[in-house]
Amino acid sequence: MIERMTQRAAGRLRQTIGLLVAIGLICSFGSAVALAEPTPVTAEADSVAGQTGETVSVAVYMDPRGIDGIWAYSMEVAYDPAVLEVTSNGGVESSVDTLGFDVDTDTSGLVKVDAQLLGFITERQPVFTIRFTVKNDAPSGDTNVTIRSATYTDETTPRAVPRLKGGKVSVTAVSRVTVGAGSVSGQAGQTVSVPVTVTSVSYSAVSAYGIHIDFDPTALEVAGIAGQSGDYFFSVQDNAQGWLKAAWVDAAGGDPGIGAGGRLFTVDFTIKANASLGDKWLTVHPVDVHHFTMTDSNANEMNKTWTNGKVTVGVGSPGSADPDPSSPSDGPGVPGQPSGGSQQPAGGGLDVLVNGKAENAGTATTAVVDGRTVTTVAVDRRKLEEKLAAEGTGATVTIPVAGKTDVVSIGLNGQMVRGMEDKQATVVVRTAFATYTLPAKRIDIGAIAAKLGPNATLSDIEVRIEIAAPTAGLTKLAERAAEAGDFTVVAPPVSFTVTAVHGGSTIDVSAFDVYVERTIALPDDADPGKITTAVVVDPDGTVRHVPTRVTQEGGTYQAKVNSLTNSAYAVVWHPVEFADVASHWAKDAVNDIGSRMIANGTGEGTFAPDREVTRAEFAAILARGLGLKPQSGTNSFADVKAGDWYEGAVEAAYAYGLIGGFEDGTFRAEESITREQAMTIVARAMGITGLDAKSSSASSGLRLEAYADADNVAEWARSAAADCLQAGLVNGRSADELAPQGPMTRAEVAVIVQRLLHKSELI
């Protein structure tokens, strides 16, 4: 008995101990949970990197962890004003929608922001961005961007942000130098001396240079070139062509080198007896290292700027020199000026229009290069940024160049292009003979910088937009093509190019994913009724159609050309009438696309309008209609071989996403194309022409279901068929028959392609 009681007591004791242990554990876990600290609200500055002279963007984030959301905040962000400077306009921008956004940058080294939001910040996100310019004399290394204080409001009372995390800007110092020629005056028959001097330099003295200066050979002649720094100096000149070259290397390897105020060399010019009065400019192509190279003591190419000099021929005091070539009478030199022969007196300030509002933000220089007059325009980045900030998004930046010139070259740097891209701006270059309208984002400066490599900073990339009047060689090429192709050239080829240059590398921006517009002025004696289209004139003499329509502006007729490439364009007259469509329902469309060189006949002046069209023919007609450049060598389909007549068109259509072929990797070029296959391809083409954005698809399903055989449309083609019907590009075979599985005829293709281009406002 006693033993059993003892056992029961021991059992109860074990139960009691177990229960106490469990309670203890529960309590201990409860205490741990109760003591855990919630993650606090955080304000954090981002860390970025940049070179001296560049603009960098520092994002500031807020994270409302531990609360439901933030609807207002205030913040003070400190930075080192000896290293960074907030950009003058648009320097601080909100990253969220706000009811109020107040910015105070009056205190050097401090940015104050107060914001009331339209909604709530419920997760970590950027709330504003500060754009800093890294000062030219900033040292290499990290500089802190510190959040000095911050508050947030989640209900009614502002609370201090408990966790503040600063960021930094990692600065890479770049050696920079400004070099300029002096400005002097003299009379015919006299010799004047022009100094070439380092006007400013940062971080490292100049240890070597090479400079190619262009001058007017009709007015000036080099009498001598004298180096000023000893060591290894070399010079050469060509008075007939109008250029001189000077080069120097420091024997001591750049120690101490040539610093600010140091003279590089002096050029003695003799003013010719028959020289005309006025300014004779001394220019350098500052982007081409073969024309302008400056090396620092570490053997690195410096970031360099050239300032134009001049010799003024007149009757005033001869031989007087401007001791400071950094400020000649016509303003500073600009990047991107062409090497040239004869500088003209014309030059100076040029108005740039932003949404029609003039700003003296351009500098124009005119030179004669290889017998052609070249006008180069450089745009002031700061002035442009200020105007764009004032105008907001979607601005149009027009650069008008008046007067007679053969080539107009607009120089922008990559930073300017990025700024315009961010503001969704469009650049319009307007000359007396042509206009080029180019949305900044189509340049794709980010992709260009990636191709140029990590050492290519946006501020060092020069983007040139160029329009060139016809050359004799290009005109002759077009005339030979006209003779072979039985058409007449109404306006000879005008060239449009966009290039990006960095150091010795050049990238051509030659293709776009949407149409870019150009206009070509027609000759005064041209008959606007005898214009069929514009054509691309390729270097090999081949021509191809590009969508074109004739417009009138201010009493002048123009050909408005929309193209997916940069090329040389001629305007032509190529009337075609096919004998077998004289009484056909598609007569007008067939003759129109034949005249535009979109579709060819079947021989002996016939078109065969009711013949079924093959997949190859359809691809070729659509590709020509859109103005796609033929492509080859990619072998996208197993049954499309090099040398096939349709290879270029099929590969181009594939490259633009218009066709995809079959699951077995074939294209089946000789098969007849079905109507639903054709509608699928045309619907994709609408995305290129922009027609899909211009037509509402709200009732597309109703239009498709109006046909009794709508259920016969394959599932993969239903959306495309609906889009084509809604846009008015395709009709049924009858009022209630769409015939999606039926073949497409050549006449139907002609009508569809003409409608596509017309409704897209391309012809």
In a domain, 13, yes or no: no
In a domain, 443, yes or no: no
pLDDT value, residue 32: 36
In a domain, 181, yes or no: yes
Does 160 lie in the same domain as 67?
yes
pLDDT value, residue 341: 37
**Torsions phi, psi of 452, nearest 5?**
-75, -15
pLDDT value, residue 89: 67
Report yes or no: 511 and 565 within 8 Å, Cβ to Cβ. Answer: yes
Last residue within a domain, chosen from 142, 172, 202: 172
pLDDT value, residue 175: 80
Give me the number of domains the chain comprises.
Answer: 4
Q: Which residues contact 107 (CB under 8 A, 6 or more apart)?
A: none
Range of the domain at 317: 175-333
Does 610 lie in the same domain as 563?
no
Does 588 lie in the same domain as 544?
no
**Which portions of the chain are predicted below pLDDT 70?**
1-39, 89, 229-231, 251-256, 287, 315-348, 693-702
pLDDT value, residue 694: 52
Does 738 lie in the same domain as 648?
yes
Does 508 lie in the same domain as 478?
yes
pLDDT tens, position by position, 391-422: 989 999 999 998 889 999 999 989 999 999 99
In a domain, 353, yes or no: no
Question: 81: domain CATH number?
Answer: 2.60.40.680
Q: How many CA atoms lie within 13 A of 86 on its CB side?
A: 21
Last residue within a domain, chosen from 548, 573, 598: 573
DSSP state at residue 301: B
Does 753 lie in the same domain as 655?
yes
User: What is the C-alpha to C-alpha distance for residues 644 and 646, in angstroms, rounded to an integer?
Assistant: 5
User: What is the C-alpha to C-alpha distance for residues 592 and 588, in angstroms, rounded to an integer?
Assistant: 6
In a domain, 35, yes or no: no
Does 186 lie in the same domain as 165?
no
pLDDT value, residue 333: 34
In a domain, 668, yes or no: yes
Does 328 lie in the same domain as 180?
yes
Last residue within a domain, chosen from 311, 333, 355: 333
In a domain, 435, yes or no: no
Does 621 lie in the same domain as 543?
no
DSSP state at residue 174: -
Does 321 lie in the same domain as 197?
yes
pLDDT value, residue 334: 34
pLDDT value, residue 686: 93
User: What is the C-alpha to C-alpha distance for residues 224 and 430, in angstroms, rounded to an integer?
Assistant: 41
Helix/strand/coil for 7: helix
Does 624 lie in the same domain as 529?
no
pLDDT value, residue 342: 36
User: What is the C-alpha to C-alpha distance for residues 289 and 231, in angstroms, rounded to an integer?
Assistant: 22
Does 646 lie in the same domain as 675?
yes
Handedness of CA 88, 92, 93, 97 (dihedral sign): negative
In a domain, 70, yes or no: yes
